[in-house]
Structure formats: structure tokens, C-alpha cells
Chains A and B, each alone.
Chain A
Amino acid sequence: DGGITQSPKYLFRKEGQNVTLSCEQNLNHDAMYWYRQDPGQGLRLIYYSQIVNDFQKGDIAEGYSVSREKKESFPLTVTSAQKNPTAFYLCASISGDWHYGYTFGSGTRLTVV
């Protein structure tokens, strides 16, 4: 079945370390997105990519980096520069014409210890 796979589901990181969250889709979607969710707040956009080898900053990109070397993959690196990285991270994708709704991954819960 087509979908988005995020891994791992739970991730613990020591303060000062970089960590990479995986997002893979087999939907042949052009655009992919990374969102952050904090308790009591709406999803906030970190980065998005509309085509391979191109990506744009979202509203809260500081302390994060991404790459889009393949259409299927859009990994997110949470760097040590991110001041408050503990959160729930969601990856999403959509086809280019927006005719169908978003498809979301199941999320990764990152905790800094």
C-alpha cells in the first residue's frame, strides 16, 4: 500500500547532538513537508520541498536542516542549534495538483534528555 513512513517512532537525544528523522513516501508525490507539533498548538511548518534538489524554509526553520536528493525521501536533521527540540514531528506529502488531500506519516516523538 502507498503511504508515508516515518522512523523512528520515538527518539531520545542528548543535548548538543544532531539527530536525523527519516521520511519516505511511495506515493510518487512531488511535494513533501515537515511540521512540528507542540502541546496546545497547531502544526507549524519547518521546511518544505516541491521538487527534488529544492526546498524552502517554513515558519520555524532555525536549528533544522533538510535535503531532497530523491523524490521519495525528505530527511530532517535537528541540529544542536535548535533551542527547544523536544516535540512531535510530522512529515506530509501531496501530489502536485493538490487534487487530493495531504497524506501524513505517523510521526516521530523526539525527546532531548
Chain B
Amino acid sequence: KNEVEQSPQNLTAQEGEFITINCSYSVGISALHWLQQHPGGGIVSLFMLSSGKKKHGRLIATINIQEKHSSLHITASHPRDSAVYICAVRWGGAQKLVFGQGTRLTINP
């Protein structure tokens, strides 16, 4: 069983909609990463957070340490936001990440 679970696995929405992608993990972590993978395969790091909330443009990432849960929100979604969004966590002093399976987001014009 994967220790990092994302939901939904697939999400299709209309342009302009508010998007939420969820990530749950099994034990306490030192940091959580949100990544974006475009159809070509390249991955971009969006956020790294260990508490609270971070915002970059239309993207917002939150984390609730007590509930072991993080969300990635996209406001005013656009077709160019279509991608796979991946959650990954790091435990303690570990030098590696454990990845969720990803959420495939499609925004239709």
C-alpha cells in the first residue's frame, strides 16, 4: 500500500473552475512537495512546505500536520494547467522522497 495517497486520480473541469487536489500520508513528515508533470514528461517543483500555506500566482498549497493532509488549489483554472500533479513526502532526516501516484488534471476551454 502506498504511504502517500492522492485524490482524485483523474479530474476534468471547465476553464475558470476552482480546483482542489488532495494528498494524505501515513506518518509524520519533515516536508511535503507538490510537483507538476507536463505531457512531455518533465517535472517542475511547485511547492515545498512543512507547515501552513504557500501561494504562488494562482496556485495555493496548504498542509495540516495533525491530520496528515495537504491540498493543492488552483484558482481560475486554465487549459495550460492541464498536467499531472504529484505529491511527495520526506520523512525525518531521510535523503529521499516517497511519491504519490499523481492526479491527472484536464481543464477544458
Contact = CB atoms under 8 A, between A and B. Distances in A.
A7 interface: no
B45 A88 contact: no
A104 B95 contact: no
Contacts of B42: 104-107
Interface size class of A (residues with CB under 8 A): 20 to 34
Given A42-B86, A101-B48, A48 B41 contact: no
Contacts of B40: 106
Contacts, number: 54
A50 B99 contact: no
A101 B101 contact: no
A95 to B, nearest CB: 12
Nearest to B104: A40
7 contacts: A42-B2, A43-B86, A90-B43, A101-B48, A104-B35, A106-B40, A107-B41
Interface of B: 2, 4, 31, 33, 35, 40-48, 86, 88, 90, 95-102
Interface of A: 31, 33, 40-45, 48, 50, 58, 88, 90, 92, 98, 100-107, 109
